[in-house]
């Protein structure tokens, strides 16, 4: 089974290695430049001394030089990539067998089809988890100087660091395997799984993520009265509301001559990561479990 699985999925494995090599080359080029600039401007000492308050010009120059390449372009290009990886690998796993009739040979061997599917899911899913973990490690390495200035909670860092990236890939893979079994066609299964994955991904990112851990509240007295609009929602080099690099400000309002600020502290990064990854892994297990059950219960 291991040899057969490798023969069937070696093209995907080679493409994955090429993708990882391209990402590593990009990371080395940009990461080396960022580290050189970070050291040359002595930003580490400034951050340790004053949370960056004493070197705003240097921070602005650094962000102006590397911000677009690290944040905007990179995030935009990788937004759909975890889902695409998962669905391209997962949808044909059963969909192709059913579409072309090769299930008659694959499922008529001495290995029961339930065991056949579990072994394939374990091997392919394990490979995808390793790929996602390696991609996340590379991104965390090359983004390290930028993360020291803005933290890890900004969307274009959080989504590709820590443990959520492999969880995103596995969730798309699980949904695609189930869609391939139900639709019996690879391409429609890819489309259906990608749409479902993207809906889940955006729903968690913009709706549920900041509910996974309780946010913190900060109360500060108004100076000169409380009036006007409240700004600076989000994250910046030094959120002026909390004064700590990496804090993500969620909301703020005035009440009885005080600012009331709701935010996620920078220290919540790993807690949020494991909670969100657990959610996507639960979706993965539910989808794969449903696929195994359906395959076991019904004939092709």
pLDDT at 29: 86
Give the model's pLDDT for residue 267.
85
pLDDT for 75 equals 63
Looking at residue 270, its pLDDT comes to 92
In contact, 45 and 238? CB cutoff 8 Å: no
Phi then psi dihedrals of residue 208, to 5 deg: -100, -25
What is the predicted pLDDT for the residue at 300? 46
pLDDT at 73: 54
Contact status, residue 83 vs residue 194, Cβ threshold 8 Å? yes
pTM, rounded to two decimals: 0.82
At residue 235, the pLDDT reads 45
Tokens of 216: 């913190």
Looking at residue 238, its pLDDT comes to 47
Q: How many CB atoms lie within 10 A of CB 112?
A: 11
Contacts of 217 (CB under 8 A, 6+ apart): 260, 261, 262, 263
**Residues with Cβ within 8 Å of residue 212, at least 6 apart in sequence:** 271, 272, 275, 276, 279
pLDDT 10s per residue in the chain (300 long)? 555 555 566 677 788 889 889 889 988 988 888 888 888 777 778 777 766 666 777 777 777 777 765 555 556 667 788 999 999 998 888 877 776 555 555 555 555 666 667 788 888 889 999 999 999 999 889 888 888 887 888 777 888 888 999 999 999 999 999 998 888 888 999 999 999 999 999 899 888 888 888 888 777 776 655 554 444 444 444 455 566 777 887 777 666 777 777 888 888 899 999 999 999 999 999 999 998 888 777 654
Residue 256 CB neighbours (<10 A): 9
């Amino acid at each position: 089974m291991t040899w057969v699985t490798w023969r069937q999925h070696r093209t995907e494995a080679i493409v994955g290695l090429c993708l990882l090599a391209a990402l590593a080359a990009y990371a080395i080029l940009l990461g080396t430049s960022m580290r050189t600039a970070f050291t040359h401007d002595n930003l580490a000492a400034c951050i340790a001394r004053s949370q960056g308050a004493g070197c705003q010009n240097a921070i602005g120059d650094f962000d102006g030089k590397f911000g677009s390449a690290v944040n905007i372009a990179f995030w935009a290009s990788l937004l759909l990539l975890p889902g695409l990886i998962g669905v391209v690998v997962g949808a044909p796993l059963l969909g192709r067998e059913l579409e072309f009739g090769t299930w008659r040979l694959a499922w008529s061997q001495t290995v029961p089809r339930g065991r056949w599917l579990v072994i394939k899911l374990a091997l392919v899913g394990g490979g995808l988890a390793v790929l996602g973990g390696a991609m996340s490690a590379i991104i965390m390495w090359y983004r390290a100087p930028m993360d020291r200035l803005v933290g890890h909670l900004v969307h274009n860092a959080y989504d590709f660091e820590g443990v959520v990236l492999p969880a995103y890939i596995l969730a798309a893979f699980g949904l695609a395997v189930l869609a391939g079994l139900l639709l019996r066609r690879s391409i429609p299964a890819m489309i259906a799984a990608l749409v479902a994955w993207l809906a889940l991904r955006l729903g968690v990112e913009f709706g549920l993520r900041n509910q996974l851990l309780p946010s913190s509240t900060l109360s500060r007295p108004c100076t000169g009265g409380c009036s006007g609009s409240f700004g600076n929602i989000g994250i910046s080099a030094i959120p002026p509301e909390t004064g700590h690099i990496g804090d993500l400000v969620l909301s703020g309002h005035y009440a009885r001559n005080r600012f009331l600020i709701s935010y996620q502290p920078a220290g919540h990064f790993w807690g949020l990561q494991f909670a969100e990854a657990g959610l996507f892994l639960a979706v993965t297990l539910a989808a794969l479990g449903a696929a195994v059950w359906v395959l076991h219960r019904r004939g092709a």
